[in-house]
A and B are shown apart, each in its own frame.
Chain A
Amino acid sequence: MTTRDQMLASIKANQPAMRPIPAQFTFTSVYPDLTQQFIDILTFVGGAALIVPDFAAIRASLQTQFPNMTSVATTCDELADLADVTMNVSDPHELSGLNLAIIEGPLAVAENAAIWVDERQLPQRVAPMITQYLVIIIRQSTIVPNMHDAYKLLKVDETGFGTFICGPSKTADIEQSLVIGAHGARSLMVYILP
């Protein structure tokens, strides 16, 4: 018998009698203002958000937030002129010098300020972690109340990789002092379009 077969046989012999999956495992969250809830939580976890009317406003804000920044890449056609490098590389190591990545997030969650991105938004999986600074553009209409709502809309294996991103990377491993910018992005700015 292979290890696999032995393990499975032992598991089968030892597992208890069948218990059903519970009927209720999704819940409803009610927030008076989904966008405000998202912004409040994002601020709490060290990110920042700005409600903007259009891409022109995003462009103006980016130019003040990141003046004269080089090694900027974006997947948004509307902001293509701000970029001087691309995330469309065959080897992810080529992104090691990336300073600013500007991507779009198709789905956001109000209860925890998490934004889903997958390979439809990411030319390379490592882009939102390897970049020094990260900007994600979302739309108010795609903010759902909680994680149950998010998974109802998501097909997690639609692409080979997807992740929920909530704020900039961080650690508190030295005496529980919060430090923003561990291995991933040092800041997360979220622009919220209508």
Chain B
Amino acid sequence: MNKQLILDHADAAVEFNKNEAKVDWHDETLWFVRTKRDRAVAQIPEWEQLREAASQIKNHVLSNMHDLLIQFEENAIRNGIKIHWAADGDEHNAIVLDIIKQAGATRMVKSKSMLTEECHLNKYLIDNGIEVIDSDLGERIVQMRNEPPSHIVLPAIHLTKAEVGETFHEHLGTDKGATDPQYLTEAARQHLRETFLTRKVALTGVNFAIAETGGFVVCTNEGNADMGAHLADVHIAAMGFEKIIPRAEHLGVFLRLLARSATGQPITTFSSHFHRPRPGQEMHIVIVDNGRSRQLGRPDFRNSLKCIRCAACLNTCPVYRRSGGFSYHSAVAGPIGSILAPNLDMKKNADLPFASTLCGSCSNVCPVKIDIHDQLYKWRQVLMREGYGPGSKTVAMKAMATVLESPRLYRMAGKVGRGVLRFAPITVENGLNPWYNQREMPEPPAESFHDWYVNHKKA
């Protein structure tokens, strides 16, 4: 990808905010999802204890990752599942391509997997002559538009039904101008049913992998993961290694938390437990690292690997809701994406930990109690220290440090500032001052506290 084409978060957010009506809709819709989450949570008196249990189980998983993965592999192999290990996205992609080729297939149907977004699998397969169709409705919509998902649970949340209608008219031949979601969904159902029935290879994500039993759980509302996997000769499941949980009974905790946190549903429509391929079928699991073991070694940031991808932190985030998923230029957007992305590429993602007010709402809704806003704050310090801080901030902070270190400079700067605000407000009240953008400058006081103190002491 051309580097110059990627806007940093703040600039992309400015673009997103040009359509004010749409931003308001985006903001209110995601907040509505957050309120649905609140209503679902209020029905579970032990919610906080559940979060604590989930957090502690995940803490155990992080600390026992090596042994749990070996246990999982052993049991999965005993179940007749083939296990593959991938150090990075490239290796993951090559393994998937190899399985497809071994199956003699040229087409694949895929259900939602943020990991494959992270690895840019679709592009790789298409470049190698394999057709990929995303089967989650939202993902299919953005795929037709050549866009990535803008939200990890609601991939097409940035689009209006008119835009979806336009896309479907072009790609599925629905009536021009049609916007009825029922009608549009029916068209996609027919189109994708044909896809499910004709693909030999299906790829799904993994929500939870159970060490004790060597199986895995995939959650969907649409039933698309099941339709793909149960009709295909070959089922590939792709997982980041952090998806592991120790025992099946721990699913009780995570399945009670996941859908309620995500959309306010009591549970997803399908929570499918795969343990063995059906007769005649091949089942593969690709276990991916791609920077995760490095993140595991960062004491301040390893907790980010506890994430179960519910997106509650996106829905509640005042910055995400008003800047949109694409501003984050990363497979996982929002607060959780902003603490995961710098681990993948510090330079490219240096802007993301700054895309936050540090209000802490993300940490409060997180079902596995990740200290998201603390990590955002800590990443800022790491990035500045490593020299990846945004240039404007570095210069301004250095200037400020010089002024604050010298009482004489500080008093002079105050005097100049007050004078400028009073006599030449245009020098700060203009579009070049980012602070003035959407804010009034304060009334300058007549004298500084220092001057006031000195004058009153005399009297």
Chain A contact residues, CB within 8 Å of chain B:
2-4, 6-8, 10-22, 24-27, 41, 44-45, 92-93, 96, 111-114, 118, 124-126, 129-130, 146-148, 150-152, 154, 156-157, 159-177, 179, 181-185
**A-contact bits for B244-276, CB 8 A (1 contact / 0 none):** 001011111101100000010111111111111
Q: Are A165 and B66 in contact (CB under 8 A)?
A: no
Choose the segment among B96-104, B133-141, B333-341, B376-384 that binds chain A (4+ C-beta atoms closer than 8 Å): B133-141
Q: Are B137 and A164 interface neighbours, CB within 8 A?
A: no
Interface 0/1 of B129-170, CB less than 8 Å to A: 000000111100100000000000011110111001000000
> A-facing mask of B363-378, CB < 8 A → 1, else 0?
0000000000000000
Question: Which residues of A lie under 8 Å from residue B196 when comparing CB positions?
Answer: 183
- Complex Cα distance, B61 from A19, in Å, reads 8
**Are A21 and B269 neighbours in the complex by a CB distance under 8 Å?**
no
Give the 8 A-B CB pairs with smallest separation, nearest first.
Answer: A184-B223, A14-B297, A160-B276, A112-B266, A182-B222, A173-B138, A126-B230, A22-B56
Known: A8-B66, A14-B294, A184-B227. A160 touches B277 (CB 8 A): yes
A182 touches B185 (CB 8 A): yes
Contact of B64 among A15, A157, A166 (CB under 8 A): A15
B241 in the interface, Cβ–Cβ < 8 Å?
yes
Would A183 and B197 count as touching, CB distance under 8 A?
no
Task: Tell me, rounded to whole Å, the shortest Cβ–Cβ distance linking B177 to chain A.
Answer: 15
Query: Does B221 contact A169, Cβ atoms closer than 8 Å?
Result: yes
A–B complex contacts, Cβ < 8 Å, 30 sampled = A8-B69, A16-B62, A16-B302, A17-B63, A19-B56, A25-B53, A25-B56, A25-B57, A25-B253, A27-B49, A92-B230, A92-B231, A125-B226, A147-B251, A148-B249, A152-B249, A157-B213, A157-B248, A160-B277, A164-B271, A166-B265, A166-B266, A166-B269, A171-B137, A171-B221, A173-B137, A181-B189, A183-B189, A183-B224, A185-B223
A13, A150, A177: the one within 8 Å of B181 (CB): A177
* Chief secondary structure at chain B's binding surface: helix
Chain A nearest CB from B393 CB (Å) reads: 31
- Please tell me if B210 contacts chain A, counting CB pairs below 8 Å: yes
A3 to B270, CA, bound (A): 33
Tell me the minimal C-beta distance from B27 to chain A in angstroms.
Answer: 13
Q: How far is the CB of B248 from chain A (nearest CB, A)?
A: 5
* Cβ-defined partner of A151 (8 Å) among B230, B249, B296: B249
- For A93, what are the chain B residues with a Cβ–Cβ distance below 8 Å? 197, 231
B residues with a Cβ closer than 8 A to A are: 29, 32-33, 44, 46, 49-50, 52-53, 56-57, 59-60, 62-66, 69-70, 79, 85-87, 91, 135-138, 141, 154-157, 159-161, 164, 181-182, 184-186, 189, 192-193, 196-197, 210, 213-215, 221-224, 226-227, 230-231, 241, 246, 248-253, 255-256, 263, 265-278, 287, 289, 293-294, 296-297, 299, 302
Majority SS at the chain A contact face: loop
Bound state CA distance, A114 and B387, in angstroms? 51
Measured between beta carbons, the chain B residues less than 8 angstroms from A146 are 252, 256
Q: Tell me which of A6, A129, A167, A170 contacts B227 (CB under 8 A).
A: A129
Taken together as a complex, chains A and B put the C-alpha atoms of A15 and B295 apart, in Å, by 10
| Residues of chain A contacted by B154 (CB below 8 angstroms) | 172-173, 176
Q: Is the CB of A26 within 8 A of B252?
A: yes
Complex-state Cα separation, A134 to B245, whole angstroms: 32
Bound-complex Cα distance A18 to B59 (A): 9
A173 and B164 alpha carbons, distance in the complex (Å): 10
Q: Given A114-B271, A147-B256, A161-B273, does the pair A15, B63 have CB atoms closer than 8 Å?
A: yes
Task: Say yes or no: A15 contacts B65, CB within 8 Å.
Answer: yes
- Please determine whether B64 and A125 come into contact, CB atoms closer than 8 angstroms: no
Nearest A residue to B47 via CB reads: A27
Given A16-B299, A126-B227: A7 in contact with B265 (beta carbons within 8 A): no
Q: CB distance B189 to A176 under 8 Å?
A: no
* Residue pair B293, A7 in contact (C-beta under 8 Å): yes
Contact between B193 and A183, CB atoms less than 8 A apart: yes
Q: For B255, what are the chain A residues with a Cβ–Cβ distance below 8 Å?
A: 147, 164
Chain B residues near A167 (CB-CB < 8 A): 269
A174 touches B299 (CB 8 A): no
Closest chain-B Cβ to A176's Cβ sits at a distance in Å of 5
